[in-house]
Amino acid sequence: MEAEQRLGRHSGVLDAVSLRTREIYFAHRAGYSYAEIADHMNISHITIKRHIARALLAIMEHGETKRMEPLIAR
């Protein structure tokens, strides 16, 4: 249940990235390997890595913003 909630939060955060980045991120989270995703989407392995990195950066930036909100509100 906690994992589903976390994925739901990530989904909202990932609205800021491209549809392809979201698709790749969620495919990887669903258990597909970089190679499987690359083969299915007919793109290179390094492109998969870049999309995953963009998604993780968006998630981390959102986390940093959330931690800063109580400080900003003061």
Could you tell me if residue 18 is left (phi over 0), alpha (psi between -120 and 50 degrees) or otherwise beta?
beta
62/69: higher pLDDT: 62
Task: Say how far residue 11 (Cα) sits from the centre of its chain.
Answer: 8
Structure tokens at 18: 């491209």
Predicted structure pTM score: 0.70
46 versus 11: the higher-pLDDT residue is 46
List Cα–Cα distances, 30 to 23, 27, 67, in angstroms: 10, 5, 28
For residue 21, which of 33, 4, 37, 6 has the smallest C-alpha distance? Answer: 37
52 closest CA partner among 16, 68, 18, 28: 28
> Could you report the per-residue pLDDT of 22-34, keeping only the tens digit for each?
999 999 999 999 9
